[in-house]
Amino acid sequence: MSDYTLTRREFVKGCCSVAVVGGVGSSLMYADDAFAAANAYDTVVHLFLRGGMDGLNLVIPVDGVDRTFYEEARPSLKIDATGTYGALPLTLSTGAATGFGLHPSATGLRDLWNDGRMAIVHACGMATTVTRSHFDAQLYIDLGTPGKYGSPSGWMTRAWQSRPTNTPAATMPALGVSGTQPAGLMGATDSLTMSNPSDFQLNAGAWAWQKIRADSPAGLRGMNETLADLWTGQTGMEINGRRADLALKTIGQQSFASLPATWPTGNFAEQLWTIAQSIRFNLGLRYATLDLGGWDTHEGQGTAGSGYHYYQNKINELSAALAAFYSELNSTGQMSRVTVIVQSEFGRRVRANANGGTDHGYGNPMLVLGGAVNGRRFYGTWPGLNPETLSPTFGDVPVTTDYRRVVSEIMIRRMANPNLSTIFPGYAGYSPLGIVQGTDLTPKIDEAATLAPVPPTASSVAGQASENSSSTPQSPIPEWQRRGSVDRMLTRRER
């Protein structure tokens, strides 16, 4: 007889993992793994591009005075306006030019744009807080509290907890595809976090003893079944163990498949595939989050062309996987109820540095894609790249649209949740941009909100200035934003 040793990692995964599903009763045990034609609820997928994605080399000015400023600021990093490695033109549904193009590696995103399923919000970000610290900016966005620490919950947790009272129960309402629980889901005891489904199981020890299988000897009780019997009490460990056991059963019951041959390869594609399958399993998934890191390019960023170019590869990874995700869910009817938000903590400096890279900036494009998106349009106000315009924000693209304004519209129109003061405490600057389809509800906003509302801009007229990529701001940059404190914290560069 062999001794069985349970490692600390296996113990944590088995009884008190942060990836738990609790409080949903026996539905976890008998979740339907059949593909529904179209789920009767919406799902928001939040993709965080960690490291500060260079939006100016993803969404590129291709003509006019801003093209001149762009080329002057980035003589060795610029993406050509035309040619073999030139930007992919972005036109409106009328065929009119916008003055912008996508990086030549973003063919998948270009196709979504042309299909009217992707929108781009110009100069988006944290309008009330200026920081160049990755750690601060990422945490502020994850918590939904720009400029403030200390929230016990993430913004997606509060979005789910403040859902309408008539929302049907969900077996798995929130999913983080990660090795640790995402900060955006902090405080959500009914969320589930896993790096991939195949790893989300208790599989230590002899294979034959792990659990009861079809060919197991009569009367065998495996390790999984034995552990499940231990969590019948009401102590904290027993409650957490019971939740973890239910989570393991939920995932183990679903018929997760390997990555299709039609998808791109790599970890990011695998993570999106996990989310796509989880949406199709009819588990009630409302919120999902995942990261794509590696965007902190202080040196060796590259442009586009033959040979190795770092950003070219990153953008191709992003674009190809998102296109596959959209195609997969669109083919089975689910994409009409899925909205994907793509954002980074901040942009990069307009001017290239001496090391062939770009340093931390401020405003950045946000991408929104999905079946209910009013796509093939720009939203928000494009401030232009005139150095005089950029000088109040230290040479960076300013933020002209608060990212919470975009997410709030998705919460109201797609998730039927108007509780904005709960989801984004202190935010009082909401008005719809018209990015997604849906019913407008009266926002529930705390009138005593301490943060100043964001002044209205031309972006509030979605059908006019929002389609004009060269529109100028109709309101000045607020004084607090002009010379506000800027975090100059030095951070270790990712390679």
Residue 202 has pLDDT above 80, yes or no: no
- Whether residue 26 is contained in a domain is answered as no
- Whether residue 27 is contained in a domain is answered as no
Q: 123 in helix, strand or coil?
A: strand
Structural domain including 300 reads: 45-168+285-482
- Whether residue 179 is contained in a domain is answered as no
Instruction: Evaluate whether 243 touches 189 at the Cβ level (below 8 Å).
Output: yes
- Whether residue 248 is contained in a domain is answered as no
- Whether residue 493 is contained in a domain is answered as no
Over residues 115-132, mean pLDDT: 97
Q: What rounded mean pLDDT belongs to the chain?
A: 81
- Whether residue 222 is contained in a domain is answered as no
Distance of CA 135 to the CA centre of its chain: 16
- Whether residue 350 is contained in a domain is answered as yes
Distance of CA 178 to the CA centre of its chain: 12
Taking the model in full, what pTM does it have?
0.80
Number of structural domains in the chain: 1
Please tell me the predicted confidence (pLDDT) of residue 55: 98
Please tell me the predicted confidence (pLDDT) of residue 468: 37
Higher pLDDT, 32 or 173: 173
Instruction: Evaluate whether 57 touches 357 at the Cβ level (below 8 Å).
Output: no
- Whether residue 183 is contained in a domain is answered as no
For residues 128 and 147, what is the distance between their CA atoms, to the nearest angstrom? 8
What H or E segment, with its residue span, contains residue 343? Answer: strand 338-344
Instruction: Evaluate whether 302 touches 312 at the Cβ level (below 8 Å).
Output: yes
Over residues 445-449, mean pLDDT: 67
Q: 399-414: per-residue pLDDT in tens?
A: 999 999 999 999 999 9
Over residues 436-454, mean pLDDT: 74
Please tell me the predicted confidence (pLDDT) of residue 358: 97
For residues 309 and 360, what is the distance between their CA atoms, to the nearest angstrom? 20
Q: 21-61: per-residue pLDDT in tens?
A: 333 332 332 233 333 445 679 999 999 999 999 999 999 99
Q: 374-428: per-residue pLDDT in tens?
A: 999 999 999 999 999 999 999 999 999 999 999 999 999 999 999 999 999 999 9
Residue whose tokens read 């994605």: 53
